[in-house]
Amino acid sequence: MADEADLAFDSEQHHLAYALQQRHGAVLHPVGCCHNCGADDVARRLFCDPDCAADWEYEDSVRRKLGLLPHRVPARARQRVRLAA
């Protein structure tokens, strides 16, 4: 028979697994340009250089802390994805 500590642990694990599952959907994928500045010369990478990656991570963490929408892919990348489809 489970005591209160076991029930609390199970509930905590359930909420943690759900949160991780929701976060997993926010993974970036290469789109043909830098996710931060939109530079075209990145091929199959997410960012054009380490500075852009650091800037994006900082902005993303601030957005999450403030409860804002996720960082958007630059407009040039969205157009390129639409044209490729």
Structural domain tally of the chain?
1
Does this model's pTM top 0.75? My answer is: no
Ordered alpha helix ranges (H), the chain? 4-24, 50-66, 75-84
* Cα end-to-end span (Å), the chain: 55
CB 53 within 8 A of CB 46: yes
Tell me which of 16-20, 24-28, 54-58, 59-63 is least confident. 24-28
Domain that holds residue 33: 4-84
Distance between CA atoms of 36 and 56, rounded to whole angstroms? 6
Distance between CA atoms of 21 and 78, rounded to whole angstroms? 25
pLDDT tens-digit series, residues 56-78: 889 888 888 888 876 665 555 55
- Average of per-residue pLDDT across 41-62: 88
Write down the pLDDT at residue 51: 92
